[in-house]
Homo-oligomer: A and B are copies of this chain.
């Protein structure tokens, strides 16, 4: 059910940047001397949690919705999502004035579900498995005739996610290494495409919870490995690579660093205490990954970019996580 096309090109990413400019303002790049000290180099935090929907997903969803032609658009859009893509697609669809249905697993974040509903999407729930999500979505597509906007396999979505890195490298051209979280691989793929078009020497790292490390296993094995564990506090990172995103990551020599749950919480804590940023667990994963690279002695350049991907955490849950740590 995915929209046709192979890997998006840098031209697609640049076109996405132009296309979404009126709807998705650039996010700031934040600095914190204490974070620099913690990591041991200059860290440029791309604040993707400061989008209107609280996550980078608004970039890709907006691009995909604006790419719909006049025949497709009136049918509306649909997707399955654990949350941030759902809210982003709902907002992008509402702005174009077309219907949106999202399939969310039971147990998804209440904050994220409320955001999708507030934007006018119809939310349909299903069991929290990939099979159940795909089955329920197929039913929705059959019933409504909507166009699927896949959260990470859609080339328009991947191109949209790449615009974050275009902005980051325009603000800080001296960056030589970028870390992004990896789940289905849409953001990381867009990051690699954008960064390497600007400077092929930039090292691209994915950061992934050890409890959901399909990208790490797959890139080491040289083929998709999807039968490992799949559990993490980082509820936005439980999707798995597709053939398309795997191929993009492989062709860009992307490496993956895995982190523990405790390291995620520690990064959330540092982002709160030092950088004054409230992020969801998934949003702290890239910084946690960078800290692990430093800890294991990976040489770091003077300027490093970190994608802080989202901030949609239920606040009560966040404070309890913080107190338990």
Residues of A whose CB lies within 8 Å of any CB of B are: 25, 28, 30-34, 49-50, 52, 54, 269, 272-273, 275-279, 311, 315-316, 319, 322-323
Sample of 29 A–B contacts (CB below 8 Å): A25-B31, A28-B28, A28-B30, A30-B50, A31-B50, A32-B50, A32-B52, A33-B52, A34-B52, A49-B276, A50-B275, A50-B276, A54-B276, A269-B315, A272-B278, A272-B315, A273-B315, A276-B277, A276-B278, A276-B279, A276-B311, A277-B277, A277-B278, A278-B278, A315-B322, A316-B323, A319-B319, A319-B322, A319-B323
Contacts of A279 in B (CB 8 A): 276
With A and B bound together, what is the CA distance between A311 and B30 in angstroms? 15
Contacts of A315 in B (CB 8 A): 269, 272-273, 322
Using CB atoms, name the residue of chain B closest to A33.
B52
Using CB atoms, name the residue of chain B closest to A49.
B276
CB distance from A316 to the nearest CB of B (A): 8
Rank and list the top 3 A-B pairs by shortest CB-CB distance, nearest first: A276-B311, A319-B319, A28-B28
With A and B bound together, what is the CA distance between A117 and B305 in angstroms? 30
With A and B bound together, what is the CA distance between A50 and B30 in angstroms? 8
Using CB atoms, name the residue of chain B closest to A310.
B276
CB distance from A129 to the nearest CB of B (A): 30
With A and B bound together, what is the CA distance between A171 and B169 in angstroms? 21
CB distance from A18 to the nearest CB of B (A): 21
Using CB atoms, name the residue of chain B closest to A316.
B323
Contacts of A278 in B (CB 8 A): 272, 276-278
CB distance from A171 to the nearest CB of B (A): 11
With A and B bound together, what is the CA distance between A1 and B272 in angstroms? 38
CB distance from A322 to the nearest CB of B (A): 6
With A and B bound together, what is the CA distance between A28 and B277 in angstroms? 13
Contacts of A323 in B (CB 8 A): 316, 319
Contacts of A32 in B (CB 8 A): 50, 52
With A and B bound together, what is the CA distance between A255 and B273 in angstroms? 33
Contacts of A54 in B (CB 8 A): 276
Using CB atoms, name the residue of chain B closest to A323.
B319
Contacts of A276 in B (CB 8 A): 49-50, 54, 277-279, 311
